[in-house]
């Protein structure tokens, strides 16, 4: 049974950490191959499950060391039927792997039951297409129909919430929010932006948030930005009402654009100290923001530095 589905603790204050760039850390830093960048495929082997567990244990320990909460992501980002052909997976197999993914993180939550901060089970859901270079536009109706399938599988598990992670267009975000609302699952929308602070469609981040909220009667619990460096979006964070709907950040370690990262053959881990300082600035200028972690190129080092910085600079700790 879900613990926090009816009331997410992070919406009531306190600092919450997430993990970092799961796939890039495992691939580049640990030499683990991940088919089609789909981390749920690691659950198919004992070696893969061990690698995932070891990765997550570092972040669970970090959260407890700082006496903060942890948003615990399951490896479900590509566990939906858009990727079934590339992965050779049937809908039946994907349904089972979604359930297995939540069971996996629930067991790890039990292992860290002594943590002083709450551990929220979260299922990330990725977009229909390449988040770095979206190749198609998805209408709200199409998105609602498509994502309702994975959301229905997840609703039967212990998961506390879902996150539309690295979404590239407001129409798809509207659809997945409607599907999650229908299933009575709390949903967070996390948009990615290009180096100019706009979504890959060219829509300014503020306009996208306003559009999703208007179309869904403020259906998301809150919004986040992920898979972009702070330099890419700081100037786009205007002091308007929509800004207060953003509660979290999971930034890339690298300043490279999505196109540059897509072509990169080596990992750009950036500067953890500089990145953490920028997070501290975000925490000071947006005191309501309280969810912080990493994305592509980042690892435990980055999130540890980020935790130190946001705790020092945040008004909600």
CATH number of the structural domain spanning residue 48 = 3.20.20.330
**What total of structural domains would you count in the chain?**
1
In a domain, 3, yes or no: no
Cβ(310)–Cβ(292) below 8 Å: yes
In a domain, 2, yes or no: no
In a domain, 53, yes or no: yes
In a domain, 13, yes or no: no
Q: Strand 161-167 to strand 16-17: parallel, antiparallel, or no bridges (unpaired)?
A: unpaired
In a domain, 175, yes or no: yes
Domain that holds residue 293: 19-313
Cβ(243)–Cβ(234) below 8 Å: no
Could you give the CA distance from residue 13 to residue 6 in angstroms, rounded to a whole number? 16
pLDDT in tens, 277-309: 999 999 999 999 999 999 999 999 999 999 999
In a domain, 10, yes or no: no
Choice between 272 and 258, residue whose per-residue pLDDT is larger: 272
Burial class (CB in 10 A: 0-12, 13-18, 19+), 232: buried
Residue range 54-83: average pLDDT? 96
Burial class (CB in 10 A: 0-12, 13-18, 19+), 130: middle
In a domain, 297, yes or no: yes
pLDDT in tens, 110-147: 999 999 999 999 999 999 987 766 778 999 999 999 99
Cβ(316)–Cβ(290) below 8 Å: yes
Task: Identify the pLDDT of residue 315.
Answer: 60
């Amino acid at each position: 049974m879900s613990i926090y589905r009816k009331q997410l603790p992070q919406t009531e204050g306190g600092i919450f950490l997430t993990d970092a760039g799961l796939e890039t850390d495992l691939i580049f830093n640990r030499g683990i191959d991940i088919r089609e960048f789909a981390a749920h495929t690691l659950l198919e082997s004992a070696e893969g499950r061990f690698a995932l567990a070891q990765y997550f244990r570092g972040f669970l320990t970090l959260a407890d060391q700082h006496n903060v909460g942890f948003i615990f992501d399951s490896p479900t980002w590509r566990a939906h039927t858009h990727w079934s052909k590339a992965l050779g997976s049937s809908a039946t197999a994907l349904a089972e792997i979604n359930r297995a993914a939540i069971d996996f993180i629930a067991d790890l939550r039990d292992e860290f039951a002594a943590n002083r901060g709450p551990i929220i089970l979260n299922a990330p859901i990725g977009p229909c297409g390449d988040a770095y270079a979206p190749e198609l536009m998805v209408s709200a109706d199409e998105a609602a129909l498509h994502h309702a399938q994975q959301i229905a599988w997840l609703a039967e598990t212990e998961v506390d919430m879902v996150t539309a992670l690295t979404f590239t267009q407001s129409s798809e975000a509207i659809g997945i929010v409607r599907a999650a609302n229908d299933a009575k699952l709390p949903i967070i929308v996390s948009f990615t932006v290009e180096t100019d602070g706009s979504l890959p469609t060219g829509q300014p981040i503020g306009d996208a948030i306003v559009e999703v909220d208007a179309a869904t009667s403020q259906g998301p619990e809150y919004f986040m930005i992920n898979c972009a460096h702070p330099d890419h979006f700081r100037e786009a964070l205007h002091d308007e009402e929509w800004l207060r709907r953003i509660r979290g950040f999971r930034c890339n370690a690298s300043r490279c654009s999505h196109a540059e990262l897509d072509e990169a053959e080596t990992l750009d881990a950036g500067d953890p100290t500089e990145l953490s300082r920028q997070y501290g600035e975000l925490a000071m200028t947006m005191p309501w923001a309280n969810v912080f972690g990493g994305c592509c190129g980042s690892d435990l080092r980055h999130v540890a530095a980020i935790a130190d910085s946001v705790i020092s600079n945040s008004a909600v700790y």
